[in-house]
Amino acid sequence: MKKIVTVVLFVIIETCFFIMQAQEDTLPIFNRIYQGQWLFHAGVGESSWRKPELNDKGWTVLESGQSLVERKLKTEKGFGWYRIHVEINNNMYAAALRRGGVILHIDSLAGADTVYVNGVQVGFFSMASVKNGKYLERKYFLPFSMLKNGDNLIAIKFYDGWSPVGGGLLRGAIMKLSTVETVDRLDLKIDVNDDDYIFFAPDSMKLMVTLDNQNLWSVGGDLVLGVATDGGHSLATWRKNVMARSKQSTSVSFEYVPPSPGFYQFTLYFDYKGKTCCEKRINLGFEPEKMQSFRDVQPDFKKFWKYNLKKLAEVKPEYKMTLIPAVSNKDYEMYLVEMKSLGGITIRGYYSKPKRKGRFPVLIEYMGYGSAPYFSSVEWDGFAHYVPSIRGQGLNRLTKEDDFWITIGLKNKEGYYYQGGFCDVVRAIDFVCSRPEVDTSKVAVRGGSQGGALSFVAAALDRRVKVAAPSNPFLSDYRVYFKIAPWPKSDFDNYKEMHLDMDWKKVYELLSYFDIKNLASWIKCPLIMSFGVQDNVCPPRINFAAYNQVKSPKVWIACPRSAHNTDARARKAEQKFIREKLGIVDN
């Protein structure tokens, strides 16, 4: 008898799910744009600023679609708040009940934000993301329990301390509420059967994909997985039909055996009634140290760099140090440093000189491509610190016309931008080794992106470097790089349009003299390289093109979820590696 009851109940439950599925298309909908007045106030704010009962009569009134720049309003250290009251009428309230909530759309807001509805946080956006020149729309789910039949307060706290648009809602920005659609309450979660996303034979690449359905009705469709090379060449596609019940999830496992060492792009999405939703992309690596790169070292490569270093040595550096009291502290004096480099060019940097007696190890940190100047560290760690700017960049930047450094002087290797730039790298080592407080037997270099490439250069061209810690290194394996990433190839395409006599054969021959994979075999010191597995600016393939040529003791750290950056674990490992290789014992 118990078995019969169980079967009957199961049939009833299943029938209810199919009823809910059938009703989903007929549920009431609405899509309302709000064009009322916004209230604005600069500052970090207080917890009361998010609450409906706040007396906000002293706030500045903005018409819908007006920007802060247009009204000549400013944030306070990048922070500001908006408040707006919206009306949810009886029909909207009933529709929200039937569908379980609504979606709040906020279009064209520059900056990171946190959004509150009736005093309760509904979500946040961690950074100002721009796609195709447009600030991305925010979409926040508001559960029915959070809404009121009548007046509702939406409060937005935002921060934008970096973009040129002044932050906040941009001109023409709109806000709207709409009923929840099925795809709004679906999500794909990916679990990789490897902590750092790097696999080794005989293991295959294994993924567990979970479709999470938070709708009030069951959802059926196909999970689709495609795999391609990091250059975008499709290799395989799988499609599996799944059904996820209301407020539940369902999982499917996928397995792939790569044809060769390399990095592979996996694209996953849920096909719901012919619509692609919840699309996600993830990169995984396989046997990266076995990847082969085309070596294009020119016959006079070694002679060329020997000549450049000789010419650099003939230039008197004429070091000049200017104290910056405002940045100095009890542990360090901060200096602006100026010196002459190849061609008599003046280059600059920031130097943190220890105030304590003795001789100290030094850490040179090379900067990323086009990075704004920043001071070297004044947090005591027992090191002297130097952050140099190579010619044209950072402290040496003159105009916006300098943005295309990588194509400057592309006609000839003598005079190409990185001929001088790489010599500036060595001149930075000359400077720190001229300082009496520096222990010249303990010179370390680090940097990310271009700084990572320059760390390779420093270790390859100068034996005074005793340990190198590049991350996400740039300037590597150009023939492959230009096939798998849109930039910097786009800069070269623009250059070639204006210089029709320049062909790719000439470009690649010239760049071979400045390719860090061709310099990497000269490195004799220990090296630790960290990289973001999801990086599409300096993809992991080009990182390993250089790394695999290093013959000295080396180790790599993969940051599985990082793009063109690294994570805290990698940075901690880097610091430990540097101290160990320099023989620094922590007290």
For residue 427, what is the enclosing H or E element? helix 417-434
Ranges in the chain, pLDDT < 50: 1-22, 128, 132-133
What Cα–Cα distance (Å) separates residue 165 from each residue in 60, 72, 169, 170, 465? 19, 12, 10, 8, 42
Please give the radius of gyration of the chain, using alpha carbons only, rounded to the nearest integer. 29
Residue 295 lies in a domain: no
Q: What's the CA gap between 43 and 41, in Å, rounded?
A: 7
Q: What's the CA gap between 110 and 70, in Å, rounded?
A: 14
Give me the CATH number covering residue 466: 3.40.50.1820
Q: What's the CA gap between 107 and 321, in Å, rounded?
A: 49
Residue 3 lies in a domain: no
Residues 6+ apart with CB under 8 A from 49: 41, 81, 83, 155, 157
Greatest distance between any 2 Cα atoms in the chain: 99
SS3 call for 408: coil
Task: Point out which residues pair with 237 in neighbouring strands.
Answer: 226
Structural domains of the chain, count: 3
Asked if residues 41 and 59 have their Cβ atoms less than 8 Å apart, the reply is yes
Q: What is the pLDDT of residue 108?
A: 82
Lookup: tokens for 382: 């027992």
Specify the DSSP class assigned to residue 403.
G
Q: What is the pLDDT of residue 145?
A: 94
One domain, residues 123 and 202: no
Peptide bond into 143 cis (omega under 30): no
Q: What's the CA gap between 517 and 547, in Å, rounded?
A: 7
The domain boundary residue, chosen from 255, 290, 325: 290
In 273-427, DSSP assigns E strands to: 275-286, 320-323, 332-340, 346-354, 360-366, 384-389
Asked if residues 190 and 265 have their Cβ atoms less than 8 Å apart, the reply is no
**Packing angle between helix 450-461 and helix 540-547, nearest 10 degrees?**
10
**Total residue length of the chain:** 587
SS3 call for 241: strand
Residue 545 lies in a domain: yes
One domain, residues 155 and 190: no
Residues 6+ apart with CB under 8 A from 73: 40, 42, 60, 62
SS3 call for 153: strand
Count CB-CB contacts under 10 A for residue 16: 13
Terminal Cα distance for the chain, rounded: 74
One domain, residues 454 and 553: yes
In the block, residue with structure tokens 């001088």:
420
One domain, residues 127 and 192: no
Q: What is the pLDDT of residue 290?
A: 98
109, 97, 188: which is closest to 142 by C-alpha?
97
* CA atoms within 13 Å, Cβ hemisphere of 139: 11
Handedness of CA 53, 57, 61, 63 (dihedral sign): positive
Q: What's the CA gap between 175 and 137, in Å, rounded?
A: 10
442, 427, 446: which is closest to 570 by C-alpha?
446
One domain, residues 101 and 159: yes
One domain, residues 396 and 543: yes
One domain, residues 283 and 308: no
25, 503, 388, 484: which is closest to 492 by C-alpha?
503
One domain, residues 258 and 334: no
The domain boundary residue, chosen from 268, 290, 312: 290
Which amino acid appears at position 218 of this protein? S
DSSP secondary structure of 445-496: EEEETHHHHHHHHHHHH-TTEEEEEEES--S--HHHHHHH-STTHHHHHHHH
Residue 104 lies in a domain: yes
One domain, residues 280 and 378: no
For residue range 199-258, what is the model confidence (pLDDT) as tens digits? 999 999 999 999 999 998 999 999 999 999 999 999 999 999 999 999 999 999 999 999
Residue 352 lies in a domain: yes
Lookup: tokens for 452: 């990572």
Residue 5 lies in a domain: no
One domain, residues 521 and 540: yes
Q: What's the CA gap between 538 and 455, in Å, rounded?
A: 15
Q: What is the pLDDT of residue 587?
A: 57
One domain, residues 239 and 341: no
What domain range includes position 93? 28-180
178, 165, 160: which is closest to 82 by C-alpha?
160
Lookup: tokens for 544: 């390993």
Backbone angles phi, psi at 308, to 5 degrees: -60, -40
pTM for the whole structure: 0.85
Which amino acid appears at position 476 of this protein? S
The domain boundary residue, chosen from 234, 265, 290: 290
Give me the CATH number covering residue 275: 2.60.40.2360
For residue range 370-382, what is the model confidence (pLDDT) as tens digits? 999 999 999 999 9
Q: Which residues of 156-183 are buried (b: 16+ CB within 10 A; e: fewer)?
A: bbbbbeeeebbbbbbeebebbbbbbbbb
SS3 call for 424: helix
For residue range 150-173, what is the model confidence (pLDDT) as tens digits? 999 999 999 987 666 678 888 888
Give me the CATH number covering residue 54: 2.60.120.260
116, 177, 107, 104: which is closest to 141 by C-alpha?
104
Residue 13 lies in a domain: no
Burial (CB count within 10 angstroms: exposed 0-12, middle 13-18, buried 19+), residue 439: middle
One domain, residues 136 and 210: no
What Cα–Cα distance (Å) separates residue 392 from each residue in 246, 345, 348, 396, 417? 58, 10, 10, 5, 9
Lookup: tokens for 583: 């023989």
Residue 21 lies in a domain: no
